[in-house]
Amino acid sequence: MNKLMVFGVVFVLALLGLTWVIAGGQMGDDIVNKLAMLGAVATATIAIFVALKYIRQMQTDKASGKLADENWDGIGEYKNELPFGWAIIFFGSIIWAIWYFLAGYPVNAYSQYGEYNEDVAAHDAKFEAQYANMDESSLKAMGESIFIVQCAPCHGLQADGIDGKAADLHHRIAENSVKAVIMNGSNNNLVGTGAPMPDRNGLLNANTGALITDAEIDTVSKYVAGGMQGTEGADVFAGTCAACHGADGKGMDMVAPNIAEMSPSLVDAVIHHGKKGVIGTMPAFTNLTEVQAKAIDAYVSSLSK
């Protein structure tokens, strides 16, 4: 055994000894400590002896073999085979990394995130069971408190939309929103499906047999936004909109949403799917439990009554 090899053995032992001291001189039952020490042993041993091998090779070997055709500023490269030992270490490292990720630690082991998620899931299940059978009054009370936290930042504490920055929830729909939907169509999943409403180029007034006109759009928008009261615009609605939304505007299951009132099912669809309209885009709320969503549905739908 030459001097370089002796030096390598001594250096590896010293490095591992230092690692042991830093680790506190104990392994315990923690798999993380064991894996860390195993990694230190493997890394130190492989690194030192590979380095020594190539240092020795540089001292004794002479360049030989066939040069590659490419060169950089006159500096060529020999067509050497991939070192067998290096290839073994490289592929071994990949296999070890896959094992470590899937079985050794990250996926299989304890984590604070995992504990937190488990605690949240357990609390949500307890919450759902405790409040599963609330009456309408209790649901609205809970919905109001959830609304203040989740919805008021955009819709305001009074649910009035903060000067047009979000929808005024005391009214089913604003005139500019009705007009925007008629002009551009809609696919907001408000009946729980992806069935879109066509834009104005697909809306035929059955009374006239022609596509809906700008004047008719203005008239029917005011009619719908006004709670479908009076007679102006009623004929346009009956000839163009009632086929899908119903004669009373309360919609049809799996066909078109309720545009006459803010029903709990409508609020629930907006909460779960989000909504894109003339004001902007409301995101879907996926952080609510079933009971919490039901409570908001009850509260918001009661605001316009």
Stretch among 26-30, 161-165, 241-245, 268-272 having the lowest mean pLDDT: 26-30
Mean pLDDT along residues 46-62: 76
More confident call, 303 vs 74: 303
Span 34-57, average pLDDT: 77
Helix, strand or coil for residue 113? helix
* Contact between 146 and 287 (Cβ < 8 Å): no
User: 36 or 143: which carries more pLDDT confidence?
Assistant: 143
Cα radius of gyration rounded to whole Å, the chain: 35
pLDDT digit string (tens) for 255-272?
Answer: 888 999 988 988 998 999
State residue 113's pLDDT score.
Answer: 78
pLDDT mean over 100-126? 81
DSSP state of 171: S
pLDDT category at 18 given cuts 50, 70, 90 is confident
**Residue 226 pLDDT greater than 60, yes or no:** yes
Sign of the Cα pseudo-torsion (119, 294, 195, 175, in order): negative
Position 75 pLDDT exceeds 70: yes
Q: Which residue has the tokens 């050794």?
A: 104
Highest mean pLDDT among 83-87, 166-170, 183-187: 166-170
Nearest Cα to 181, choosing from 198, 161, 156? 198
When pLDDT is cut at 50, 70 and 90, the band that residue 142 belongs to is: very high
Provide CB contacts within 8 A for 113, sequence distance 6+. Answer: none
- How many degrees, rounded to 5, is the angle at CA 227 between CA 222 and CA 231? 65
pLDDT level of residue 192 (50, 70, 90 thresholds) = low
In angstroms, rounded to a whole number, what is the distance separating the alpha carbons of residues 241 and 246?
7
217 neighbors 234 (Cβ within 8 angstroms): no
